Amino acid sequence: MKRKILSALLCVAMTATMLAGCGNKADDSTNDANQETTDDAAGDDATAGDDAAEGDDAAAGDDAAAGGDKLTVWCWDPAFNIFSMEEAGKVYQADHPDFNVEVTETPWEDVQTKLTTAATSGDLSTLPDIILMQDNAFQKNVISYPDAFIDLTDSGIDFAQFGEAKTAYSVVEGKNYGVPFDNGAVIAAYRTDILEQAGMKIEDFTDITWDEYLEKGKTVLEKTGKPLLSCQAGESDVIMMMMQSCGASLFDDEGNPALVGNAALKKVMETYAALKEAGVLVEVNDWDQYISTMTTETVAGTINGCWIMASIKTAEDQSGKWAITNMPSLVGVDNATNYSNNGGSSWAITANCQNVELAKDFLKSTFAGSVELYENIISCGALATYLPAGDSDVYAKGDDFFGGDAVSAKIVEFAGKTPSNNTGVFYYEARDAVASAMQNIVGGASVDDELQLAQETIESQMQ
Amino acid sequence: MSQVKEPKKRKMSLERRHNLTGWAFLTPATLMIAVMSFWPMIQAFILSLQTGKANNLKFGDPLANYVRMFRDNVFMASLGNTFLYLIIQVPIMLILALILASMLNNKDLRCKGLFRTAIFLPCATSLVSYAIIFRSLFGVDGFINTVLINLGILNTGYNFLGHATSAKIVIIIALVWRWTGYNMVFYLSGLQNIEYSVYEAAKIDGASPMQTFFKITVPLLKPTILLTAIMSTNGTLQLFDESLNLTKGGPANATITMSHYIYNMSFKYVPTFGYAAAMSFLIFILVAILAFVQMKVGDKRD
Amino acid sequence: MTKAKIMKVLMYIVLTIVSLISVFPLYWMLISATNKSVDVSRGALLPGTALIDNWKSLLSQSPVGTAMINSFKYAIILTILALVICSLAGYGFEIYHDKGKDAVMSILLLGMMVPFVATMIPLFRMFSSAKLLNTTIAVIMPTISTPFLIMMFRQSARSFPHDIIEAARIDGLNEIQIFFRMFIPTMKSTYAAAMTITFMNAWNNYLWPKVILQKEETFTMPMLVANLTEGYVTDYGVLMLAVLLCSLPTVIIFFLLQKSFAEGITGAVK
C-alpha cells in the first residue's frame, strides 16, 4: 500500500514538472505562431499592429490612434456587398484621404456563429467595427445581445430616406441599429417566350391575384408543360413573401407566436397547397436545383427577392426572353398588396468599434447619403433602398436582358410600396416550424392541425 | 523529472519502473485531453443546469432542461432519426468495410493501390460537392429516377428527398458511401499485423474463403473492429453534416439529427445554450453507455 | 481451380463497381471545374472549356495560395504532434497496462463523446482569455490529443509481439529507445493509417477554425470554399475548382501512403 502511495506521489510530481514544461513550451510556440502570422501577411504593418491591439484590451485607445482612420468590416459576397463596401470606402476617401476600409470575407453563417460565440463568451474584441447583418436576424441578435451593437438613432442619419418596410427590420424597441443596404423587393420574373406559347403576355401577370395566377398557370402548364414557379421544399420563402405582401406576421404585437387563428396565414397555406396540387408550383430539394429549374428552362418563371436577377442572368443565352413585374396578391385578406420583400441586409456597428464617430460618419456619408455610391454599385446588381438614389438617371436605364425594361427603377418603386411587418425575435424558429407544417399539409394533413402543432413547437422553443 | 526519480531508482523494482514509464508515456496526451475536453465539458455541464436565452442565464430547477427535451417534439424526432441511422447504417458499413478490406488484402490482386484509393476517395471528397451530387442524383428528374423509369419500375419521377422514409434511406446510403472507405483503412492496417503465413496455412489446410474470413480475419481483427464500432457509434450519434447539407433535416424534421438540432438551438435560433448543453449531455450519456457495452463485449485481452 | 477463378473474376467485378461509384463525385468535380456555372447547373457530364476562366476568377476573388499554405501548415504540424503524443500514450496504455491505466483509458474515451457544439464556447472563452485567438496553436491545440487516436494505437499495440520488447531490454535498450527504435518501425502500417486519417481530419476541420480565426491571412481551404457558396449567386464552375483543390491533398497523401498499409509487419520482427 505504501508503495502505491509513493508511486502516486511520484506521479503528481512528474505531472507538475510536465505541466510547467508544457506551459513554457506553449508560450514559445505562441510567439512562433504570431511570428508566422505576421510573416504570412508579408510584413503588413497594419496587421501586426492590430494583432498587438487585440492581445491587450487596455490598448484599445491606442488602436484607434495606431490604426488611423481604418474601419474593419465583415460581409460575404465579393461580387456584391464586399464590392459595395469597398466602393463606399473610395467615396469616403475622397474627403478623408487617410481613411480606408478593411473587408474580411465572412459567410453570413460564420458571421452569426462568430457573433454568438463572441457575445456569449463576453469577449467582443474579436468582432470588427461594422458587420453586415441579414435583415431577418436583426431582431434576434439585437435583443439577444443588446450590448454588442451601437444605437444609431441619434447619429444624424436620416432614416426616413429609406423604404419604410426596409428600415423596420433594424428598428428594435424604437431604436435604429442598422443602416439599410440592399434591396430585397420581390419581383415576379417570367419567360415571355413561354408565356407567348400559351397565348399570354407579361401584362396578363401584372397586378393579378393568386387565384388568377393559379388559373393562368394551369393554362401555361397545359399548353407548354411548364410550371410557373419553382421553390425549395422545406424553406418558407414563398410563404413569408405572401405573408409580408399583406403586412401579416407570424407573431402578434407582444411577440407571441400567432399561427392559430391567423387568417392571413391560413389563406397563404391554402394558396400554396392549391398551387402545388395543380402542378403550377413545383418543389425542388435545394437551392442548386432551384437555380437549375430556371437555367434549364423547366419553369416559366419565378418569384423571389430582386437579387435573384443576378442568377437568372447567368444564362446569357436567355437574354431578352425574361420580363419582370409585381407578384400576385392574396384574395380575401385585409391589406393585400402586390408587393413584398425577401432577403436583404443592413449594416450594423458593433460595440467593439473603437471609433464609433468615424463609423457613424462613414455610414452616414456613404450608404445613407451618397447617390454617387449607389450609381457606382448598380453594376454589381446592388439596388438601393435609399430612395433618393431611385431618381438617378442610372436607375432609369433599360436592361436588355429583360427586354429593355428599366428594371432598377421598377424595383425601387416596388420597394417603396412594400408593407412592413413584424419579423419577430423568434423568426427562424417560426419559419422552420411553418415550413414543416407546409410539408405535412402538402402531404395531405389538415391546415388547422398543422398550424396548431407548429404553434406548439415554436412555443416550446421559445422557453 | 530525473531528480525526482533518481534517488528511488535502486529501491525500485523493474516492474515499478515500467509502471512509471507507462504513466510518463501517457501523461502528455492525458493532460491535453483533460484541459481541452474535460474542462470545457464540466463548464458545459454547469451550463446545462441553467435556463434562459442568450446571456440571460440563471440557475433554477436544475433538471428543467433535462425534463424539457422529452417534451420537445423536434428533439424526440431527432433522437428517433439518429437511432435509426445508428441501428441500420453502422452494421452495414462496418461489414462492407471488412469485406472490402479482406478482398484488398489478397496478395495476388492487381491494381490494389488504385482500388484502395478509389474506395477511400468519398471521405476525402469535400462535403460541399458530395452533398450537391447526392441531392441531384436523387432529385425528381435525377439519375436514379431516370434509371428507375427506364427500367419500368416507376412511371414518373419520385421525390426521394421529399418523403420521410425515402429521405432517411438516402441519408443512410450517403453515410455508407462516404464512410465505408474510411473504416476500411483501419481494417487494412489492422490486417497487416496478422502474418500472411496464417492465411497461407489455412489455404493449404483447405479452408474456404468464408471460413478464413470468419475463423481468422474477424477474430484477429477484434481490437480494430471494436475501435471502429465505438468510433462509428460516436460519429453517428453526433451526426451533423449530412443532416444539415443533404436534407436540411427535412422533410418536416424527418431526417434531422440531434447535433443538427443542438446547432440550430445555439446558432440559428435565439441562443438557448443551457438547453443545448443539456441535449449534448444526453448524447454524451448515450454514447458512453453504448461504448461501455461495446468495451465489455469486445475489449478482452486473450 | 475454376471455382477459384470465378471467385477472382467476381472479386474484380465487385471492386470495380464499388470503385466506380466511389470515384464518380471526383469525376463530376473535375468536369464541373472545366465548365461554366450555367452548364454545371444544366448537368454537364463532359469536359468544358472554362477551366482557365474559372481558375483566373478563383484566383482573383480568393487568396488560394495563402489558404493552401495555411491549411498545410495547420495540418502538418497537427499530424506530427498528434502522432507522437497519441502513439506514445497508446503504447503506454497497452504495453504497461494495469487496472489504473485501463481505468484512465476508459475515462479518456468519454472525452470524445460530447458533441463539439457544446464545448466550443467554453473552449473559445479559454483561448480568448489566453490571448491566443488567430494563432496556430489555438487552431491545433484541441485536436492534438484525441482519445480516438490513442485508442487506435492502443489497439494496434496489442498485436505488437512482447518478445521483441523483452529481447530489446536484454540488449540494453531503455524503454523510450524501444518505443522509437522497435515500435515505430514495426507499426508502420498503423502510423500510415493514423497519419492519413489525422491529416484528413485536420485538413477538413471547419467549425473550430472558423470560430477561432478572424483574419483573412489565417484562413484555411475549407473556409475559402465556404466563402464561395455564400452570396446571392454561386459560380458552380469556380466553386468546384476550389472544392477539387481542397480535396486533392488528402487524396494524394492517401495514394502515397496506401502502400504502407499493405506492407505489414516488416524489418524489426524478422
A33 vs C62, C135, C216: nearest CB: C135
Contact B161 A233 (CB under 8 A): yes
Once rounded to an integer, what is the mean pLDDT over residues A406-422?
89
pTM of the predicted model as reported, rounded to 2 decimal places: 0.85
pLDDT for position B106: 81
pLDDT of residue B4: 45
The residue of chain B nearest to residue A292, with distances taken between CA atoms, is B136
Which B positions 263-292 lie with beta carbon below 8 A of chain A?
264-273, 275
Query: pLDDT digit string (tens) for A69-122?
Result: 899 999 988 878 898 999 999 999 999 999 999 999 888 988 998 999 889 888
A412, part of any domain: no
The pLDDT tens digits for B40-57 are 989 889 989 988 887 788
Tell me what pLDDT residue A9 has. Answer: 42
A166 and A194 together in one domain: no
The full set of domain ranges for chain B reads: 1-34, 49-298
The pLDDT of residue B142 is 77
Decide if C137 contacts A35 (C-beta within 8 A): no
For chain C, what are the domain ranges? 61-269
Q: Please tell me whether residues A442 and A312 are part of one structural domain.
A: yes
Mean pLDDT calculated for residue range A338-365: 94
A148 and A118 in a common domain: yes
pLDDT digits over C26-79, tens only?
A: 888 888 889 888 887 777 778 888 899 999 989 988 889 999 999 999 999 999
Listed ranges A321-325, B153-157, B193-197, B224-228; the one with the highest mean pLDDT: A321-325
Does A456 contact B161 at a Cβ distance shorter than 8 Å? no
Full DSSP string of A24-39? HHHHHHHHHHHHHHHH
CA distance A73 to A102: 6
Average pLDDT over residues B230-235: 89
Inter-chain residue contact A310 with C232, CB threshold 8 Å: yes
Taking all residues of chain B, what is their mean pLDDT, rounded to a whole number?
85
Alpha helices for chain C (secondary structure H): 2-33, 37-41, 51-61, 64-95, 99-110, 116-129, 136-144, 147-157, 162-170, 175-178, 184-186, 188-204, 207-212, 221-229, 236-263
The CA-atom distances, in angstroms, between B80 and each of A21, A154, B245, C224, C253 are 47, 52, 19, 35, 38
pLDDT tens readout for residues A191-207: 999 999 999 999 999 99
Is B130 an interface residue toward A (CB < 8 Å)?
no
Compute the nearest-CA separation of A116 from chain B (Å): 7
Interface of B with A in 173-232 (CB under 8 A): none
Out of C88, C229, C251, whose CB is closest to B121? C251
Predicted local confidence at residue B172, as pLDDT: 94
Same domain, A213 and A86: no
pLDDT score recorded for residue B97? 95
Task: Give the span between the Cα atoms of A357 and A96, in whole angstroms.
Answer: 14
CA distance B198 to chain C (A): 13
Which residue of chain B has the CA closest to C201? B124
Q: Is the pLDDT of residue A173 over 60?
A: yes
Taking the CB of residue C255, how many other CB atoms lie within 10 A of it? 17
- Cα–Cα distances in angstroms (integers) from residue A457 to residues B208, C34, C105, in the given order: 57, 46, 41
Under an 8 A CB cutoff, do C175 and B259 touch? no
C218 vs A contacts (CB less than 8 Å): 37, 40
Distance CA A309, CA A280 (A): 21
Give the pLDDT of residue A120.
85
Interface test with A, best of C232, C235, C236, C238 (most A CBs within 10 A): C232
Residues A96 and A190 reside in one and the same domain: no
**Cα gap C29→C242, rounded to integer Å:** 10
Between CA C194 and CA B182 the distance in angstroms is 11
C129 → chain A, closest CA residue:
A123
- Across the interface, whether the CB atoms of A296 and C215 are under 8 A apart is answered no
Tell me whether residue A131 is in a domain.
Answer: yes
Calculate ∠ Cα C76-C78-C81, nearest 5°.
105
Cβ contacts of C108 on chain B, cutoff 8 Å = 29-30, 33
pLDDT of residue B12: 65
Cβ–Cβ of A18/B31 closer than 8 Å? yes
Judged by CB atoms closer than 8 Å, whether chains meet at C115 and B209 is answered as: no
Q: Which of B217, B184, B222, B223 lies closest to B202 in space, CA to CA?
A: B217
- In this prediction, residue B300 has a pLDDT band, given cuts at 50, 70 and 90, of low
User: Inter-chain contact A428–B269, Cβ cutoff 8 Å?
Assistant: yes
Q: How many CA atoms lie within 13 Å of B72's alpha carbon, on the beta-carbon side? A: 26
B249 Cα to chain A: minimum distance (Å) = 9
Q: For chain C, which chains pass the contact test of at least 3 CB pairs under 8 Å?
A: A, B
Q: What is the pLDDT of residues B19-40, one digit of tens each?
A: 888 899 989 999 999 999 999 9
Contact of C137 with chain A, judged by CB distance below 8 Å, is answered with yes
Any chain A CB within 8 A of the CB of B162? yes
- Test A7 with B20 for CB contact under 8 angstroms: yes
Cβ contacts from B onto C, under 8 A: 261
* Binary contact (C233, A310; C-beta < 8 A): yes
Q: Does B134 lie at the interface with A, CB-CB under 8 angstroms?
A: no
Q: Does C203 touch chain A (CB under 8 A)?
A: no
pLDDT in tens, A415-459: 889 998 888 899 999 999 999 999 999 888 899 999 999 999 999
Q: Do C214 and A113 touch (CB under 8 A)?
A: no
- A7, A109, A298: residue with CB nearest B16: A7
Residues 6+ apart with CB under 8 A from A130: A71, A72, A73, A74, A347, A348, A349, A350, A353, A359, A363
In this complex, the residue of A122, A126, A288 whose CB is nearest that of residue C133 is A126
Nearest CA in chain C to A184: C232
User: What pLDDT score was predicted for residue A213?
Assistant: 96
CA distance linking residue B164 with residue B150, whole number of Å: 24
Query: In CATH terms, is domain B49-298 a member of 1.10.10.10?
Result: no
What residues does A257 pair with on adjacent strands? A251
CA C11 from chain centre, in angstroms, equals: 29
Assess if residue A42 is contained within a domain.
no
Segment A11-17 long-range contacts (CB within 8 Å, at least 24 positions apart): A11/B20, A11/B23, A13/B4, A14/B1, A14/B4, A14/B20, A14/B23, A14/B24, A14/B27, A15/B27, A15/B31, A17/B1, A17/B4
Helix axes A447-461, B73-104, angle to 10 degrees: 90
Look at residues B240, B237, B236, B226 and name the one whose alpha carbon lies nearest to residue B286: B237
> Position of cell 491587450?
A56
Three-state DSSP at A70 gives strand
> What residues make up the domain containing A168?
68-183+343-396
d(CA B287, nearest CA chain C) in Å: 6
Interface contact C125, partner A, CB < 8 A:
yes
CATH of the domain at A322: 3.40.190.10
Q: How far is CA C269 from CA A258, B277, C14, C262, in A?
A: 74, 49, 35, 16
Q: Which CATH class is domain C61-269?
A: mainly alpha
Query: What total of structural domains would you count in chain A?
Result: 2
* CB contact (8 A) between residue A116 and residue B19: no
Among A74-88, A176-190, B135-149, the range scoring the smallest mean pLDDT is B135-149
Q: Which residue of B has its CA nearest to C8?
A: B109
pLDDT of residue A46: 37
Q: pLDDT over 90 for what percent of chain B?
A: 31
Q: Which pLDDT score is estimated for B302?
A: 53
Query: Which stretches in chain C have pLDDT values below 50?
Result: 264-270
A125, closest residue in chain C (CA to CA): C128
Residues within 8 A of A (CB atoms), B 8-37 only: 8, 16, 19-20, 23-24, 27-28, 31
Predicted ipTM of the assembly: 0.83
Chain A residues inside the 8 Å CB shell of C44: none
Q: Quick one: what percent of chain A has pLDDT higher than 90?
A: 55
Distance of alpha carbon A170 from alpha carbon A423, whole angstroms: 10
Pick the residue from chain A with its C-alpha nearest to B276.
A461
Q: For an interface test with C, give the residue of A44, A106, A183, A312 to mutate (most C CBs within 10 A).
A: A106
C170 touches chain B (CB under 8 A): no
Instruction: Provide the shortest C-alpha distance from residue A90 to chain B (in Å).
Output: 34
Q: Collect all residues of chain B within an 8 Å Cβ-Cβ radius of residue A19.
A: 31
- Determine contact: C212 vs chain B, CB below 8 A: no
| A304's grid cell | 423571389
Whether residues A381 and A302 share a domain: the answer is no
> For the residues A44-58, what does the mean pLDDT come to?
38
User: Averaged over A384-413, what is the pLDDT?
Assistant: 87
Name the grid cell of B24: 510518463
Min Cα separation A400/chain B (Å) = 32
**Dist CA B260 CA B253 (whole Å):** 11
- The pLDDT value recorded for residue A79 is 79
Number of inter-chain CB pairs under 8 A, A vs B = 129
Residues A335 and A351 placed together within one structural domain of the fold: no
Question: Which of A28-42, B24-38, B276-290 has the least mean pLDDT?
Answer: A28-42
One domain for residues A81 and A151: yes
**Residue A95 sits in the same domain as residue A136:** yes
**C254–chain B Cβ distance below 8 A for any pair:** yes
Pick from B20, B135, B275: CB nearest A286: B135
pLDDT at A212 over 50: yes
